[in-house]
């Protein structure tokens, strides 16, 4: 029997015999960590459910008349897609009545949703981008959702709006949903990164990528190179360097850029390389949002052994001042991120 065929059969038998579901995996991991309650398992299960519902909408979007824009402009100044709104409502509705969180912050909402009725039992607060890469909705390309979980330490009162903007190092969990050729949920609680693939047959998320480790260096870079003329000299030099031919250091790198941050970072998490949405001359703060894009992905990538930087400092150390704050993001393999920082800070020319 050909080896590939044998491997496929073996893989399906192994999965079939002992598929590790998301809930069992999280519960077992929790049992091993002291002082952790079942609340977090519930929260992750709820994110999984949100992912199933949104994935279902995305699969039927072209048939259900939910492509295109709503005519509204969101807090970021961007045209709201119908699916942005649907994904946001799905997150808010499912978490509102779950009793699992006391506050919600979304890319699609200017103000947070505070849920005093869930406090003090619910100590977690969820910050999320409900549909990342939404320009991909109308052309059947990958999409994602990103989430960050922080905890309210106050026992005397509900957290206020200002207390939702936290430094990345204060996240207790983070992760993303990826809607690609399959639906995946990837998360970390600060003890490594694990990936689950939604099995369409059973409707369960099954462990498919345990303890993901990102290679120290990759061969791929992802950046919107149409913005080249807007970049600082250091960023230009770094990207020029990636394209220079030099067999000994594996250059030139290949470009892979989908317009969906989650998909691009997921590729890099598994295979190595670097994603950049840098600061620009006229917009030094860049495009991406700190609290529900950069911070959670930085936590995931660092937990897998990679790096995440603004170009001048670690993302997770950036002081959070506003809910919708933007930040430059350079994320991926540790050595690649270090090289980018060297060019941006003019340590290399």
Q: Which of 39, 57, 78, 199 binds ligand AFP (CB under 6 A)?
A: 78
To ligand AFP, the closest distance from the beta carbon of 186 in angstroms equals: 15
To ligand AFP, the closest distance from the beta carbon of 200 in angstroms equals: 25
Closer by beta carbon to ligand AFP, 129 or else 339: 129
Residues 256 and 220: beta-carbon distance below 8 Å: yes
Q: Does 336 bind ligand AFP (CB under 6 A)?
A: no
Mark residues 205-244: x for contact with ligand AFP by CB under 6 A, - for none. -------------------x--------------------
Q: Give the rounded distance of the alpha carbon of 43 from its chain centre.
A: 16
Closer by beta carbon to ligand AFP, 24 or else 256: 256
Residues 258 and 264: beta-carbon distance below 8 Å: yes
HEC secondary structure over 280-349: ECCECCCCCEHHHHHHHHHHHHHHCCCEEECCCCEHHHCCCCCCCCECCEEEECHHHHHHHHHHHCCCCC
Mark residues 110-129: x for contact with ligand AFP by CB under 6 A, - for none. -------------------x
The number of C-alpha atoms within 13 Å of 147 and in the hemisphere containing its C-beta is: 31
Q: Does 134 bind ligand AFP (CB under 6 A)?
A: yes
Strand order in the sheet with 101-106: 113-114, 101-106, 124-132, 143-151, 173-179, 183-188, 193-199, 204-209
Q: Does 261 bind ligand AFP (CB under 6 A)?
A: yes
Any idea what the Cα angle at residue 277 is, between residues 47 and 67, rounded to 5°?
50
Task: Give me the count of residues in the chain.
Answer: 349
CA distance 330 to 298: 9
The number of C-alpha atoms within 13 Å of 279 and in the hemisphere containing its C-beta is: 21
How many residues at the interface with ligand AFP, by CB under 6 A?
12
To ligand AFP, the closest distance from the beta carbon of 80 in angstroms equals: 9
To ligand AFP, the closest distance from the beta carbon of 290 in angstroms equals: 12
Q: Does 132 bind ligand AFP (CB under 6 A)?
A: yes
Residues 224 and 277: beta-carbon distance below 8 Å: yes
Beta strands in 180-291 (DSSP E): 183-188, 193-199, 204-209, 220-222, 254-255, 274-277
To ligand AFP, the closest distance from the beta carbon of 188 in angstroms equals: 20
Q: Does 85 bind ligand AFP (CB under 6 A)?
A: no
Closer by beta carbon to ligand AFP, 192 or else 259: 259
Q: Does 108 bind ligand AFP (CB under 6 A)?
A: no
Q: Which of 260, 300, 308, 327 binds ligand AFP (CB under 6 A)?
A: 260
Q: Which of 42, 252, 259, 271 binds ligand AFP (CB under 6 A)?
A: 259
| Contact positions with ligand AFP (CB under 6 A) in 277-316 | 287-288
Residues 6 or more apart whose Cβ sits within 8 Å of residue 14: none
To ligand AFP, the closest distance from the beta carbon of 212 in angstroms equals: 20
Query: Contact positions toward ligand AFP, by CB under 6 A?
Result: 78, 129, 132-135, 224, 259-261, 287-288
């Amino acid at each position: 029997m050909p080896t590939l065929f044998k491997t496929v059969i073996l893989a399906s038998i192994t999965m079939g015999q002992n598929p590790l579901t998301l809930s069992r995996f999280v519960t077992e991991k929790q049992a091993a960590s002291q002082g952790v309650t079942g609340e977090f398992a519930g929260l992750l299960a709820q994110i999984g459910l949100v992912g199933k519902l949104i994935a279902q909408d995305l699969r039927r979007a072209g048939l259900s008349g939910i492509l295109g824009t709503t005519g509204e402009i969101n807090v970021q100044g961007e045209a709201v897609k119908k699916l942005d709104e649907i994904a946001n409502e799905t997150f808010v509705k499912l978490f509102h009545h779950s009793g699992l969180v006391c506050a919600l912050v979304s890319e699609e909402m200017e103000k947070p949703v505070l849920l005093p009725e869930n406090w003090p039992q619910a100590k977690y607060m969820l910050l999320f981008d409900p549909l990342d890469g939404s320009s991909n909705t109308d052309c059947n390309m990958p999409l994602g959702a990103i989430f960050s979980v922080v905890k309210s330490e106050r026992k005397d009162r509900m957290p206020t709006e200002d207390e939702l903007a936290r430094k990345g190092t204060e996240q207790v969990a983070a992760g993303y949903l990826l809607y690609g050729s399959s639906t995946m949920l990837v998360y970390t609680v600060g003890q490594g990164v694990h990936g689950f693939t939604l099995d369409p047959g059973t409707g369960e998320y099954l462990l498919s990528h345990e303890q993901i480790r990102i290679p120290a260096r990759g061969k791929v870079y992802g950046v919107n190179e149409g913005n080249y003329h807007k970049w600082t000299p250091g960023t230009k030099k770094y990207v020029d360097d990636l394209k220079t031919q030099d067999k000994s250091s594996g250059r030139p790198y290949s470009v892979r850029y989908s317009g969906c941050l989650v998909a691009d970072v997921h590729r890099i998490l598994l295979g190595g390389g670097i994603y950049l949405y840098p600061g620009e001359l006229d917009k030094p703060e860049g495009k991406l949002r700190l609290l529900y894009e950069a911070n959670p992905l930085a936590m995931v990538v660092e937990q897998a052994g990679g790096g995440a930087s603004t170009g001048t400092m670690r993302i997770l150390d950036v002081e959070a001042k506003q809910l919708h704050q933007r930040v430059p993001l350079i994320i991926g393999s540790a050595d690649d991120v270090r090289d980018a920082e060297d060019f941006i800070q003019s340590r290399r020319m």
